[in-house]
Structure 1
Amino acid sequence: MYQNDVPDERLLALLKEDDPDAFETIYHRYWRQLYAFVYQQVGGKEDASEIIQELMLSLWKNRMTSDILHLRSFLFIAARNQVNMHFRREINLKKYREYQLMQEVFESTDDIVTEKQLSEAIERALERLPEKTANIFRRNKLDDVSVKKIATEMGLSDRAVEYHLTKSMRAVRKHLQKFLHDN
């Protein structure tokens, strides 16, 4: 690892020459600032760490071919781009989870309903459930949060969370089947 007084331009030149110490110096020089920047946008420690790791891995993988002129600017623009990609993935994951849920609920239906109608029907079904049960359903089935994490966050056992999921799935399935027959 190099001293703090080595300029970014020199570190970039050394990085391009495949110098792992230059990479390590860049990593240590910018990690905290990048983490704070990303954390402020995504609000989660794990997500922020993962984004920074992806960014640094990309920097290392592309070290020989990249033409970075201003390291600090490059890193923060790349971090912003990684955050944007993270949010796009999250949106797609949420849509996929909703699709997966619908596949689970309507295993063999030929009825066609719009995504909006389906979301509204799910919300109506969840409104009839106790708040805790509905919240657990949303967190697990729509937001893809693990049973263990939900249990920890809510101060419940894994088994209690699974009970609420089973209860909510039954209620949502029943409501959605009725919804399909009425439409």
Structure 2
Amino acid sequence: MELVKKADQPAFVCIYRRYWSELYRCAFRIFPNQHTCEELVHDVFLYLWNKGRDTDIRSLKDYLYIAVKNRALNRIRAENNLLTEVDDHALNATSSLQAEERVNCLEINRIYDQALSELPERCRTIMIMSRHEHLSNKEIAARLDIAPKTVENQITIALRHIRTRLGEYLVTLLLFSLLI
């Protein structure tokens, strides 16, 4: 670390090679998105290179792990805030809808979230990766080390369960999606 503080590039490269994959795995456990985790780890190393000489680091390994963990948690907070803003914007955009229709929309979201939470863990994970992270079946299969057909089956099970839970709200959901 003393060499990094003196802007010694070979020392920095050595640290980068030694810790990159461990830090990536640490980030992926918190925020399971390949591109985002690569970005988070890259940011930590960039900060270390640019500001490391001004930082009192007692344990390099601890510092790197804490930095990656904090960046991952900050990214989760930022995305949650963005989702809240999008939800608020969607509610404001539908202000011309009657109050009953807005309540129905909130109820549909609540039922969807509840149905998603009722799924078995692997099925829920696959559904989230497919519908929320927009990963292909092949990408999901590769990440989870399962067959693409298993991914398809799990998505089918999840969709069937969600449709069943939504039941009477499916028509409302269809109409709402046409209005927005």
Preserved contact between residue 18 and residue 63 of structure 1 (Cα < 8 Å): no
Q: Is the 8 A contact 2:27 2:68 kept in 1?
A: yes
Instruction: Flag the 1:151–1:98 CA change in 2: closer, same or farther, 3 A.
Output: farther
Counterpart of 1:87? 76
The structure with the larger Rg is: 1
Shift of 1:75: 0.8
In structure 1, the residue corresponding to 2:53 is in which secondary structure? coil
**Correspondence for 1:120:** 107
> Partner of 1:67: helix, strand, or coil?
coil
- Are residues 1:18 and 2:7 paired? yes
Secondary structure in 1 matching 2:3: helix
Residue among 14, 36, 41 paired with 1:52: 41
Q: Aligned ranges for residues 126-145 of structure 1 at < 5 Å?
A: 143=132
What is the TM-score with the length of structure 2 in the denominator? Answer: 0.57
* Equivalent position SS for 2:54: coil
Select which of 63, 67, 90 maps to 1:74: 63
Richer in helix (by share): 2
TM-aligned CA deviation for residue 64 of structure 1: 2.5
Distance 1:60 1:117 in 2: 52
When normalised by structure 1's length, the TM-score is 0.56
Q: Does the aligned pair in 2 maintain the 1:39–1:45 contact within 8 Å?
A: yes
Pairwise CA RMSD of aligned residues? 4.2
What secondary structure is seen at the aligned counterpart in 2 of 1:94?
Answer: helix
In structure 1, stretches of 5+ residues that fail to align are: 1-11, 128-135, 156-169, 177-183
C-alpha separation between the residues in 2 aligned to 1:92 and 1:74? 27
Structure 2 alignment gaps of length 5 or more: 116-126, 141-150, 153-170
With over 3 angstroms needed to count, the CA separation of the structure-2 counterparts of 1:125 and 1:24, relative to structure 1, is closer
CA contact (8 A) 1:35 1:52 kept: yes
